[in-house]
Structure 1
Amino acid sequence: MTTVTLRIRAGSAPETVDLDTLTPKARALAEAIHMSVGHQPLGVLCDTGLTKGDNPNHTLLHGSGPRADEIAGQPDHRFMTNLEPLPRHAVTGPQEWLEYNARQMPVYAWPIAGARSRIEALTERVPSADAARDDRCMTRDQALRHLADGGTALTGGAWIALQKAGNAPHPRHYALGGRMPLWHVDDLDAYRARDYERWTISTVAAYLGYTGPSANGSARRQLSRWGLGQVDRAPGRGGEGRFAADQVTALHTARPGRGRHGAQRSDGGRFTAEESDHAPNVQQPFPLPKGSAHE
């Protein structure tokens, strides 16, 4: 067991934290605070993997010439100073505080050093900096915002249902003993960039078996219950909204049937033979790691 001492609770004695219980980014954050003056969250120096020349405003800020070129090659470090200590009597523990603040950093940034003061970083690097660099993970809410920015709008319920149906990626890591599932940005980007067919609402209605004048309205209500948003609109003026066909088919196939003990449907909407006479297994919203309290 590797431990550090942190003073992250206002007006309280230092607390000991087991680094082996933390994700890589939270571990590097804990090391940075431990190395800071007084073991306090004065500030954390973060690396971004970029250089100052990658800044689109570099020429505007520094002009051109040898000196500007020298600056352009320097690493783009950011000094994080918005770490709020825990209130003295807060029930939140230090591990939860560390994991939360680690996820508030940009996904491409990671801690590399602590602070001498609130305006000056230390030069000594934390031991876990390299491991933290690869910890580009997001919480569920962050993952959903990341997907929405790329045109994949889902509710939390839809995200869980799509994972259970085998359509969406499962968490890459877990923090806080399984209570904080984390998705790696590479898995999210791969899901966002997957090749899938786009169905108009009328096509969705036909697939779900709705007919008549109210078919499209019934399909929209079902999509709303599932929490699926449209991904784009069909070309042309007045084009219909379009939805990801693989998400629609996954959730429809996994939808419990009526009067058949909750059996799941096959691709054609019929009940699967092996489950038609049995109630479905109760599943956790996320697959928990071995040794967790809910296994």
Structure 2
Amino acid sequence: MEEVVKINGLQKKFGNFKALNNVSFTVNKGETLGFIGPNGAGKSTTLRILLGAIKRDAGEAEIFSNDVWKESLKIHKRISYVPGDIALWGNLTGGEIIDLFMNLHGNGDTEKRDDLIKRFELDPKKKAKGYSKGNRQKVGLIAALSVDSDLYIFDEPTSGLDPLMEVVFQEEVEKIKNNGKSILLSSHILSEVERLADRVAIIRQGEIVESGTLDELRHLTRSTIIIETEEDVTKLLKVKGVFDFKHENNQATFSAENKQLNYILNEAVKLGVKKIESTPPTLEDLFIRHYEI
């Protein structure tokens, strides 16, 4: 697959603090990569290097096969970027700022802009100094989504938005993804990443601790099993791979290691299964697993 973003062995220090330590990942053409981790993990530092805002100490960082530091102006003609906290010109209206951003990019769609203004319920005639945090975020999102880019970089893009507007953003991201565009999404809203991302990279203390598709990563966590049996369900309590066992009458709920599922089910069949439900682990489960260590 064509690599739109390529990072390999990326390193960055601020004084004695090592912000990034051999960070590596790629974003392929037409896919969405979810880039997640808590505050201070290194997400924003990585994105600032990709945008050419700060220089890396070591490693490779390329977008469209161009070095992000040496060819930043060339790269910026083909990308859209939305930070998590947008600073606007207070005396300009939201509509004026959106048009300014679109004109700077040079590839805007005014019809799409007008549709997004309606969908995000933004008053474009109001001056930016009167906007709330959420409305400032809407200005950045509308401007970014109104231009035709090959790569969209979102850093906590729905910060300050209410849940309904988060849904609007997610729907718009799915549209640009369906048009074959690439998306790098850094978000603390794990359900948002789970809905939108094809692959996930989890960063912890400046290092990538896991990466892959959700299906590839789910083997690392436990599924939730709800089961009802004809015979005594508590016989499953001591079966290998069963954790957090709770029961009432002959119905039980427990966590199961995915690698032991076949064995657990074989033991359950011996008790006469009347009902069984299995819920795969979520991205949140995987995320918590790493940050509880």
Q: After TM superposition, is the score higher than 0.5?
A: no
Normalised by the length of structure 2, the TM-score is 0.26
The structure with the greater share of residues assigned to strand is 2
Which protein has the larger Cα radius of gyration, Structure 1 or Structure 2?
1
